[in-house]
């Protein structure tokens, strides 16, 4: 009965109801987007790093992996020394360089040489790509290309080191494409390749270098404690756990959370002001009816509950529309932000989770009902006789 009365009152004033629904829908869309942005980027970044399956990273001192062009010198000796430490299950060296690639004419007749991002890896222990077609690397003469590359399995491509000004002519090598892969950390603008780290070192004339190591901790070892112990044993390099990398990344990206908090708070304030104003006007128009109901014995509690149920229906209707609108807006904004240079394609700024939906709905309902509570209580406490006399037509 109460719900039916609330719906009837909303339908009795379609213009006012439509205005309130539109305003709350826009505010709820902003709220959902800000909730998605506040936790989505961190969750996406954490999932991206955790998906590699290696709990620690070793990079040149004072940097994170691929933060700079600095490399680990004497990497072969360093890798063997770290591998011998207790608690280290596996060491995966990675060399990342820009390499000149000659596109196969059969795959890209209109393209010539291109500079590509090459990853030198140990195929037996790597966490940088997933095979999409073909097979993994088995020999130094083989190469993997990105799934977006015009080259395909069975093609032969030529790689040559990028020569700096004044240096001798760079080496070159022909490699057979044995598979295509999805590279976990590649950006939308990159089309990387992967080959054996020994072959890349020889090609680039860097026989003992690595950009970083990925470490796999033994099951009984805590990654953070292992990173701290290895940091003491090898003070010339930076050794951090995935959790520490995520923490540092969150510090760098904290302004996204601050922006989300501010705009999310603004959306709730707008919702409160809009709902409070609309319900105050609606209730003011019904002072005579409310006083008449009180005169025939309807309790104050029933009056308040009826008005709050009306508010709840209004907020839920508008919030449902707003959540759908927020999802569409998030997709549009995601398309804009995903073009940020150097950002891994797997990173998502807006991640929709059921918890965020429930949080948005709960926040909107709570704020809306709280905003309507004051005019509803005031209406229920008006003097019956005076109100009837004043509202008499």
* Residue 356 and residue 32 in contact, taking contact as beta carbons nearer than 8 Å: yes
| pLDDT of the residue at 159 | 86
pLDDT tens track for 48-78: 666 666 888 898 887 777 666 788 888 889 9
Task: Based on the fold, state whether residues 217 and 261 are members of the same structural domain.
Answer: no
Residues 98 and 144 in one domain: yes
Least confident of 28-37, 106-115, 354-363: 106-115
| Residue at a domain's end among 235, 270, 300 | 235
Residue position matching structure tokens 């032969």: 156
Does residue 261 sit within a domain? yes
Give yes or no: residues 229 and 280 share one domain. Answer: no
Number of independent structural domains in the chain: 2
Query: Do 181 and 310 fall into the same domain?
Result: no
Is 351 found in the same domain as 267? yes
Regarding whether 303 and 165 lie in a shared domain, the answer is: no
Note whether 299 and 375 are same-domain residues: yes
174 contacts: CB under 8 Å, gap ≥ 6: 141, 156, 157, 158
Q: What band does 340 get if pLDDT is binned at 50, 70 and 90?
A: low
- The segment with the largest mean pLDDT, out of 11-25, 226-240, 293-307, is 226-240
Instruction: Let me know if residue 220 belongs to a domain.
Output: yes
240 occurs within a structural domain: no
Domain that holds residue 93: 62-235
Domain membership of residue 26 (yes or no) is yes
The residue among 52 and 20 whose pLDDT is bigger is: 20
pTM above 0.75, yes or no: no
pLDDT digits (tens, 9 = 90+) for 219-237: 888 888 999 999 899 998 8
Claim to verify: residue 271 and residue 164 sit in the same structural domain: no
Q: Quick check: 110 pLDDT over 60?
A: no
d(CA 209, CA 224): 26
Let me know if residue 99 belongs to a domain: yes
Q: Is 285 helix (H, G, I), strand (E, B) or coil?
A: coil
322 and 227 in a common domain = no
Position 83 in a domain: yes
Indicate whether 350 and 213 sit together in one domain: no
Distance CA 243, CA 247 (A): 6
Distance between CA atoms of residues 391 and 189, nearest Å:
69
| Cα four-point dihedral sign 119, 122, 123, 126 | negative
Exposure on the CB side of residue 127, measured as CA atoms within 13 A: 19
Compute the average pLDDT of residues 368-380: 85
Residues 226 and 77 in one domain: yes
Query: And the tokens for 24?
Result: 């709350």
CA angle 117, 66, 253 (to 5 degrees): 120
Q: Which residue has the higher pLDDT, 116 or 39?
A: 116
267 with 372, same domain? yes
pLDDT in tens, 139-187: 999 999 988 888 889 888 888 876 544 444 457 788 999 999 988 877 7
Nearest Cα to Cα of residue 373 among 273, 277, 298, 304: 304
pLDDT at 122 over 70: yes
Of 185, 206, 235, which residue constitutes the final position of a domain?
235
Pairing label, strands 237-241, 113-121: unpaired
Q: Which two tokens stand for residue 49?
A: 């790093």
Question: Is 268 within the bounds of a domain?
Answer: yes
For residue 117, being part of any structural domain is answered with yes
């Amino acid at each position: 009965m109460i719900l039916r009365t609330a719906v009837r009152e909303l339908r009795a004033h379609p213009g006012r109801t439509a205005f309130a629904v539109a305003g709350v829908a826009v505010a709820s869309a902003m709220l959902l987007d800000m909730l998605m942005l506040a936790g989505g980027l961190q969750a996406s970044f954490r999932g991206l790093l955790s998906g590699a399956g290696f709990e620690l990273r070793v990079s040149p001192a004072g940097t994170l992996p691929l933060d700079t062009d600095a490399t680990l010198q004497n990497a072969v000796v360093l890798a063997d020394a770290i591998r011998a430490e207790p608690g280290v299950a596996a060491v995966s060296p990675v060399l990342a360089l820009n390499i000149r690639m000659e596109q196969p004419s059969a795959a890209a007749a209109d393209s010539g040489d291109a500079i590509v991002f090459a990853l030198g890896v140990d195929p037996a222990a790597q966490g940088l790509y997933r095979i999409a077609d073909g097979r993994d690397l088995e020999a130094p003469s083989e190469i993997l290309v990105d799934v977006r590359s015009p080259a395909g399995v069975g093609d032969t491509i030529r790689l040559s080191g990028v020569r700096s000004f004044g240096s001798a002519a760079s080496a070159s090598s022909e490699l057979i494409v044995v598979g295509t892969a999805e590279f976990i950390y590649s950006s939308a603008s990159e089309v990387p390749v992967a080959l054996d780290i020994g072959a890349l070192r020889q090609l680039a004339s860097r026989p003992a270098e690595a950009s970083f190591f990925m470490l796999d901790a033994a099951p009984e070892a805590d990654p953070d404690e292992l990173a701290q112990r290895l940091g003491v044993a090898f003070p010339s390099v930076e050794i951090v756990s995935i959790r520490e990398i995520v923490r540092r990344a969150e510090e760098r990206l904290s302004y996204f959370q601050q922006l989300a908090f501010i705009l999310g708070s603004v959306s709730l304030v707008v919702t409160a002001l809009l709902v409070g104003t609309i319900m105050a006007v609606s209730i003011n128009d019904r002072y005579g009816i409310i006083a008449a109901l009180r005169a025939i014995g309807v309790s104050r509690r029933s009056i308040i509950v009826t008005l709050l149920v009306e508010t709840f229906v209004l907020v839920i209707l508008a919030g449902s529309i707003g959540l759908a609108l927020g999802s569409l807006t998030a997709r549009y904004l995601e398309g804009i932000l995903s073009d940020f240079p150097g950002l891994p394609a797997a990173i998502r700024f807006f991640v929709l989770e059921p918890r965020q939906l429930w949080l948005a709905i709960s926040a909107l309902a709570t704020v809306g009902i709280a905003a309507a509570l004051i005019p509803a209580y005031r209406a229920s406490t008006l003097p019956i006789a005076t109100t009837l006399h004043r509202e008499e037509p």
